[in-house]
Structure formats: C-alpha cells, structure tokens
C-alpha cells in the first residue's frame, strides 16, 4: 500500500510518515499544494492523507483540481477545523473521511486502511455495471456516456452511478449507498448522499436524461426505461 501524505507542518508530517511506515504503509510526502499536485501526477497511490490548510492553497481546492482530471483518489482529510459544518464541507468536497486534529496515530492508520479498502476492486459494482440501455460507463475516462455524448465524473459520482446501474429498476436505499459507495456501516449525520445524488442528476441532465427516481423516505431507483 502506498499513501501520499500532504502536510506542511514538519513535525506532524514526520509523525504521520513514521506512524504509517511502522504500520507497513509506504509513504510519499508533499509539503504544499503544488507538490501534492505534482506527486499525484507522477505516482499511483492507494490513499491520500490531506491537510486541509496549506501555505499555498486549500485541501478542498486540491480535491477539486483532481476532479477536473476526472478522478479523486481515496482521501482522508486532516484539519484543525473540526466543527460539523467543516466536516460536512470536507466530505461533500469529495473526501472519503475527515479527521480533526489532534488525532491518535492508531486511529489515523485504521482510517487509511479503511479508505484504501474502498478503492474499487475487480468484481465490484463499478466493474460489474457497464450499461443500462444507452447509458454506459467508460472506466478508461471515468465517464458516463449516452449515445455520442459523455460527461466525466469524479470517483464518488462514478461509484454512485455504477451502483444504481447495477440495481437498475430496483430500490437502492440510502443505507445501501452509504455502505457500498462510502464504506460506512453507520449514518454520518450529514446529507452526503443527497448532495452527491443532486450532483449526479445534474451531470446526467447534461447528457439529456434524468433517469433517477427519488422515493422519499425509501431511496432511489435508476429507471432503465429512461435510458433507452
């Protein structure tokens, strides 16, 4: 396992690198946003530990930059900003998990392992779901396609659509999405599913379709008939 650590504080950065190394996790350290973006272009990582506040930018801006290239790696965001509002903002920006400073190294290691396990594996819904009607997934570009049109999706939206497609015409509950897309066995107490579903609808509407039916209080259904 290889983790990209983005932390400008040399003491905290060294502590994280040492702690992950002791747990058998290889690390690459970046101390600012520019280095983070360069490291992510030149290396493959199973996870990222990302400080939210950096001297030349914001961790949320880094995630948005990754989004523009179509993929967001599994991210654990670290921050001294630990309010509910801050955590929601970090998660909704595309982070897979959020840990407030100060933290215990054992918890950080456990969370890094957890987000790494959420990376799609062969046989997962992202691999199994390829097309419903004329709607199809293009894994090489992390895109959704409908006829000749296509839109690139970030990692979470791609996973969300793949799971809905795998269960086309069947109800997918919020708890199912939290478990299979976010890896949560509990509700995080945020509207993370609803906000990402809204973003996914917007992206699909750019393709000229609106195939997701909301059943209030129950969940969502991707209608195969709307994808013809």
**pLDDT bracket for residue 124 (50, 70, 90):** very low
Residue found by looking up tokens 């957890």 in the block: 114
Residue 49 has pLDDT above 90, yes or no: yes
Higher-pLDDT residue of 146, 82 = 146
CATH number at residue 10: 3.40.50.2300
Q: Are residues 31 and 102 in the same domain?
A: yes
User: How many separate domains does the chain show?
Assistant: 2
149, 63: one domain: no
- Scan for tokens 């006829």, then name that residue: 147
Q: Quote the strand ranges of 106-201, DSSP E.
A: 131-132, 135-138, 143-146, 149-152, 172-173
CATH number at residue 167: 1.10.10.10
Together in a domain, 143 and 215 = yes
Per the structure block, which two tokens stand in for 67?
Answer: 């989004």
How sure is the predictor about 69, in pLDDT bands with cuts at 50, 70 and 90?
low
Q: Name the least confident of 47-61, 73-87, 108-122.
A: 108-122
pLDDT digits (tens, 9 = 90+) for 139-194: 877 889 998 999 988 878 888 999 999 899 999 999 889 888 877 766 766 788 99
DSSP 3-state of 57: strand
**pLDDT interval class at 41 (50, 70, 90):** confident
User: Do 136 and 80 belong together in one domain?
Assistant: no
Query: What is the SS3 assignment for 173?
Result: strand
């Amino acid at each position: 396992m290889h983790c990209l650590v983005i932390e400008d504080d040399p003491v905290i950065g060294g502590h994280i690198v040492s702690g992950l190394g002791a747990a058998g996790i290889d690390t690459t350290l970046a101390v600012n946003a520019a280095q983070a973006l360069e490291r992510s272009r030149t290396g493959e990582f199973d996870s990222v530990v990302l400080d939210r506040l950096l001297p030349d930018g914001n961790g949320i801006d880094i995630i948005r930059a990754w989004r523009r290239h179509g993929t967001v790696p599994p991210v654990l965001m670290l921050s001294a900003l630990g309010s509910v509002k801050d955590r929601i903002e970090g998660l909704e920006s595309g982070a897979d998990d959020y840990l407030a400073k100060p933290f215990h190294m054992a918890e950080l290691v456990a969370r890094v392992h957890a987000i790494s396990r959420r990376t799609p594996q062969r046989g997962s819904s992202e691999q199994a779901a390829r097309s419903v009607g004329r709607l199809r997934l293009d894994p090489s570009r992390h895109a959704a396609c409908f006829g000749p049109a296509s839109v690139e999706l970030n990692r979470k939206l791609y996973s969300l659509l793949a799971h809905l497609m795998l269960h086309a015409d069947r109800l997918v509950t919020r708890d199912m999405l939290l478990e299979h897309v976010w890896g949560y066995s509990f509700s995080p107490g945020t509207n993370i599913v609803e906000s990402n579903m809204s973003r996914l609808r917007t992206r699909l509407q750019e393709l000229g379709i609106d195939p997701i039916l909301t059943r209030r209080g129950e969940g969502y259904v991707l209608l195969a008939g709307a994808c013809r």
